[in-house]
Amino acid sequence: MSLEATATFIGHNDCYGITENQVKDAIRELIEKGVTDFLSGGQGGFDRLCGRCVYELKREYPQIKNYLVIPYLSFSVYNKDYFDLIIYPDGFEKYHYKAAIPARNRYMVDNSGYAICFVTHSWGGAAKTYERAKKKKLQIINLRGSNSGER
């Protein structure tokens, strides 16, 4: 996977007000830019929605890959059939399970060039991950609305 061809999803567990079509349109926009690899954390409503959308778009774009990045080995995967590969990053066995989730989020940002986000408030894990994505200069599509430097 290369940064130029990889996108991650960042969003809150509760993602009221966003539609499947909005997510699919954002994914299609990135596919048109050459993105083929999509990383999901598989935790929370936004992650589940995005994982399902990539899975469904594979019929239209068979070249894309849907990856689930898990923070620890006992992580409960909501639907293994959605994913081409489940990634457990090297070295993650050293993390306590509560520390493993932010480490997984950092891993996804650090291994992506793009992010599709649904971040509506400035606290919590999604907000911290979103700030990291901005700091790392990922190209960001924030589905809650546009900010400067974002679509």
Residue 77 falls inside a structural domain: yes
Nearest-angstrom CA–CA distance, 122 and 132 = 12
Average pLDDT, the chain: 92
pLDDT at 104 over 80: yes
The per-residue pLDDT for 13 is 84
Contact criterion met (CB below 8 Å) for 72 and 97: yes
What range does the domain containing 19 cover? 3-142
For residues 76 and 44, is the Cβ–Cβ distance under 8 A? no
- Tell me the CATH number at 21: 3.40.50.450
Angle at 79 between CA 73 and CA 80, to 5 degrees: 60
> Quick one: how far is CA 92 from the chain centroid?
18
The label of the residue with tokens 């509506």 reads: 120
| Coil, strand or helix at 6 | strand
Count of domains forming the chain: 1
Task: Give the pLDDT band (50/70/90) at residue 3.
Answer: confident
